[in-house]
Amino acid sequence: MSAAPQFTGWQAIQAEVLRRIHAREWPPGQTIPGEVALAQEFGCARATVNRALQALAEAGVLERRRKAGTRVALHPVSKATVTIPLIRQEIEERGAAYGYRLLRRQEGTHAMLTGPALHVTALHFADDTPFVLEARHISLSVIPQARNETFHEISANEWLLRNASYTSGDITFSAQAASAEVAQHLGAETGAPIFVMDRMTWDGEAAITAVRLSYVPGYRIRTVIGGS
Amino acid sequence: MSAAPQFTGWQAIQAEVLRRIHAREWPPGQTIPGEVALAQEFGCARATVNRALQALAEAGVLERRRKAGTRVALHPVSKATVTIPLIRQEIEERGAAYGYRLLRRQEGTHAMLTGPALHVTALHFADDTPFVLEARHISLSVIPQARNETFHEISANEWLLRNASYTSGDITFSAQAASAEVAQHLGAETGAPIFVMDRMTWDGEAAITAVRLSYVPGYRIRTVIGGS
DNA sequence: CATCAGATTATGTCTAGACATAATAATCTG
DNA sequence: CAGATTATTATGTCTAGACATAATCTGATG
CATH of the domain at B138: 3.40.1410.10
Nearest to A220 among B174, B191, B192 (CB): B174
pLDDT in tens, A106-145: 999 999 999 999 999 999 999 999 999 999 999 999 999 9
In this structure, the answer to whether residues A195 and A100 fall within a common structural domain is: yes
| Residue nearest D23, CA–C1′ metric | A67
In this structure, the answer to whether residues B101 and B209 fall within a common structural domain is: yes
In this structure, the answer to whether residues A117 and A178 fall within a common structural domain is: yes
The helix or strand, by DSSP H or E, that contains position B58, with its residue range, turns out to be: helix B46-58
- Edge-to-edge strands, sheet with A117-126: A98-108, A117-126, A129-139, A206-215, A193-203, A168-177, B220-225
In this structure, the answer to whether residues A104 and A187 fall within a common structural domain is: yes
A162 touches strand C (CB under 7 A): no
Instruction: Give CA–CA dist B56/B68, Å, rounded.
Output: 17
What's the confidence (pLDDT) of residue A20? 95
How would you classify residue A6: left for phi > 0, otherwise alpha for psi between -120 and 50, otherwise beta? left
CA-to-CA dists, residue A47 to A37, A132, B70, angstroms = 12, 47, 24
CATH (domain of B51):
1.10.10.10
Residues of A in contact with B84 (CB under 8 A): 77-80, 225
Bridge-partner residues for B193, per DSSP?
B177
Instruction: Give CA–CA dist A182/A42, Å, rounded.
Output: 59
Q: Give the residue on A whose Cα is nearest the Cα of B164.
A: A22
Q: How many other CB atoms are found less than 10 A from the CB of residue B76? A: 20
The whole-number Å distance from A70's CA to C26's C1' is 51
What's the confidence (pLDDT) of residue B32? 97
In this structure, the answer to whether residues B18 and B100 fall within a common structural domain is: no
The whole-number Å distance from A204's CA to C22's C1' is 38
Report the percentage of chain A scoring pLDDT > 70: 95
In this structure, the answer to whether residues B187 and B106 fall within a common structural domain is: yes
Q: Give the residue on B whose Cα is nearest the Cα of A166.
A: B22
| Arithmetic mean of pLDDT, B61-86 | 88
Residue A2 has pLDDT above 50, yes or no: no
Which of B77-98 are b and which e, b meaning 16 or more Cβ less than 10 Å from the residue's Cβ? ebebebebebbbebbeeeeeeb
In this structure, the answer to whether residues A113 and A49 fall within a common structural domain is: no
Residue A4 has pLDDT above 60, yes or no: no
Instruction: Give CA–CA dist B197/B187, Å, rounded.
Output: 18
Structural domain contains residue A228:
no
Q: How many other CB atoms are found less than 10 A from the CB of residue A228? A: 8
CA-to-CA dists, residue A11 to A16, A28, A50, A51, B205, angstroms = 9, 21, 11, 9, 21
Count of structural domains, chain A: 2
Domain that holds residue B25: 10-72
In this structure, the answer to whether residues A44 and A100 fall within a common structural domain is: no
What's the confidence (pLDDT) of residue B4? 42
A6 touches strand D (CB under 7 A): no
In this structure, the answer to whether residues B63 and B94 fall within a common structural domain is: no
Structural domain contains residue A191:
yes
pLDDT in tens, A153-182: 999 999 998 888 888 899 999 999 999 999
Residue B5 has pLDDT above 50, yes or no: no
**Sequence-separated (6 or more) residues with CB below 8 Å from residue B47:** none
Structural domain contains residue A4:
no
pLDDT in tens, A39-86: 999 999 999 999 999 999 998 899 999 999 999 998 776 778 888 888
First-to-last alpha carbon distance for chain A, in angstroms, is 28
Instruction: Give CA–CA dist A215/A221, Å, rounded.
Output: 10
Residues of B in contact with A160 (CB under 8 A): none
